Amino acid sequence: MSTQQQEPEQPESQEAPEDPEMRGAESPVDEKEKQGGDIDQQTTPESELEEESVLIKVFRYDPEVEGKQEPRFDDFHVPFEKGMTVLDAVMYARDTYDSSLTFRHSCRQAVCGSDAFFVNGKQRLGCKTQIADLSQPIRIEPLPHQEVVKDLVVDMDHFYDQMHTVEPYFQNEETPDASDLEEQRQSRENREKVKMSTRCIWCGACMSSCNIAAGDNEYLGPAAINKAYRFAMDNREPADVKEHRLRILEQEHGVWRCQTQFSCTEVCPKDIPLTEHIQELKREAVKKNLKFW
């Protein structure tokens, strides 16, 4: 016969007494969920869960659409990848968020000069400018001092007119001797002299940066003068053609309007010494007008 007293029967609604050995313990399911949560927080911080992105603020303007005629800036968060350029970013924004975003681009290799923008306060080629080299947010605008057609597209007609004013093509009616392989030969030294000037891609960045061009619509501008330099210094053109070019350049709105601010040289994506070329043409114009008697 057992000497242990029989405990009174517990009502069905009353909870079972707490086991001292289980005090403070949690159920296997709760413990697993807690451990899983702790592991997730330790191995994958919230900051790493978010995809790394860059913020670009893009100038928007469309004179043909009501509600978009007032200039503004739109924000786009673009996933960042190593080697990404400004052009890559605006293309992603267009293809992913807003297909109406308008800008020019073509070769994407810094050769065509189509995608010149005003990025973080400086004229740059979109396809050549690395996102990693810029501070955020990245502000992308059309080239200053030019009429905006839509968004990042500016009217380039005036720029092209100035370029054509200097007659940017080779002029020599003399034909080489038949024994000379029927080609217009250029010395190596002369080729080196004009080599940098031939790199111009007609992007318009230098013209946009020039304060003189901004205030004088008739000023030829650094790009046109550089193009004239390329031919004026070519030893294959006759002296009378060079004199003709210098007459174009020494006009009131030609080389003498340059104030040697070097802004054009600083923004040139092809590293052309534009200011130096302009100064050399000034010297040539002076020498042409010197008379000794």
pLDDT value, residue 177: 66
pLDDT digits over 9-43, tens only? 544 444 444 544 444 444 444 443 444 444 333 33
Q: Which residues of the chain have pLDDT under 70?
A: 1-51, 175-182, 291-293
SS3 track for the chain: CCCCCCCCCCCCCCCCCCCHHHCCCCCHHHHHHHHHHHHHHHHCCHHHHCCCEEEEEEEECCCCCCCCCCCEEEEEEEECCCCCEHHHHHHHHHHHCCCCCCCCCCCCCCCCCCCEEEECCEEEECCCCEHHHCCCCEEEECCCCCCEEECCEECCHHHHHHHHHCCCCCCCCCCCCHHHCCCCCCCHHHHHHHCHHHHCCCCCHHHHHCHHHHHCCCCCCHHHHHHHHHHHCCCCCCHHHHHHHHHHHCCCCCHHHCCCCCHHHHHCCCCCCHHHHHHHHHHHHHHHHCCCC
Same-domain status, 103 and 197: no
pLDDT score for 234:
93
Q: pTM for this one?
A: 0.77
Q: Does the residue 207 lie in any domain? A: yes
- Residue 202 pLDDT: 96
Q: What is the pLDDT of residue 45?
A: 42
Final residue of a structural domain among 146, 180, 207: 146
Residues 127 and 163 both lie in one domain: no
pLDDT value for 184 = 78
Residues 87 and 161 in one domain: no
pLDDT digits (tens, 9 = 90+) for 236-276: 888 999 999 999 999 999 999 999 999 999 999 999 999 99
128 is a domain residue: yes
Evaluate whether residue 38 is within a structural domain.
no
> Contact 225/166 with Cβ under 8 angstroms?
yes
Q: Is residue 241 situated within a structural domain? A: yes
Q: The domain containing residue 134 runs over which residues?
A: 51-146
pLDDT at residue 143, as a whole number:
97
207 lies in the same domain as 119 = no
- Asked, for residue 26, whether it belongs to a domain, the answer is no
Same domain, 140 and 165: no
Specify if 12 maps to a domain.
no
Counted domains in the chain: 2
Residues 141 and 105 in one domain: yes
Query: Regarding beta strands 53-60 and 138-141, do their DSSP bridges make them parallel or antiparallel, or are they unpaired?
Result: parallel
User: In this structure, are residues 223 and 204 in contact, taking their beta carbons and an 8 Å threshold?
Assistant: yes
Together in a domain, 94 and 198: no
Domain contains 247: yes
Quote the mean pLDDT of the chain: 84
User: What's 58's domain CATH number?
Assistant: 3.10.20.30
